[in-house]
Chain A
């Protein structure tokens, strides 16, 4: 696997189904096995990055702790689709992961095309 680049697409909103959480868990597990993927948040997946989430009342754990673990696992190339943000009225200052720079990309097709392997969650 040496030298193979992997990108994980995060396309699901955080609490309505399990895919957002399970996608992040798969990414963290891969990173722990020395396969460190880059991440691209797009479509409703950008909602995972919104600040001020407080899901205690719907009996779920906040996804933000998983996001905060990303840099600890060496995952530091994190991208977000600029068009998805605009469509949803989300500004850059509403999306942060402590300890990592989340970089906006406009041409997601070009970004994806540069990877050997792409996972989609």
Chain B
């Protein structure tokens, strides 16, 4: 069960699209940094319900609202996700 971490805006970069194309059952998606701009669009809804997380501080920094179906998390919970998933894939380009 892979943890996918996307850190780029979906408008300027294919990272999220490519990530979602590889999504397998049990995988989860974490949006960080400019990746949180994906929440202004609907692409992330291609991931199964309950499997999408975002760093709350990164969303709040950018003035982006976190939808109900996305769990806003802090760094501690991020570390916890890292310990529960293997491998971890960073989509940073």
Contacts and interface: CB of A to CB of B under 8 A. Distances in A.
Interface of B: 7-9, 11-12, 33-34, 37, 40-41, 57-58, 60-64
Contacts of B34: 13, 15-16, 44
Contacts of A87: 11
A94 to B, nearest CB: 8
Q: Which 9 A-B pairs have the closest CB atoms?
A: A16-B34, A55-B61, A52-B63, A57-B57, A50-B63, A53-B63, A58-B61, A16-B33, A89-B40
A15 B40 contact: no
Interface of A: 13-16, 43-44, 47, 50-58, 60, 87-90, 94
A47 B37 contact: yes
B14 to A, nearest CB: 14
Given A47-B37, A89-B40, A14 B62 contact: yes
A60 B62 contact: no
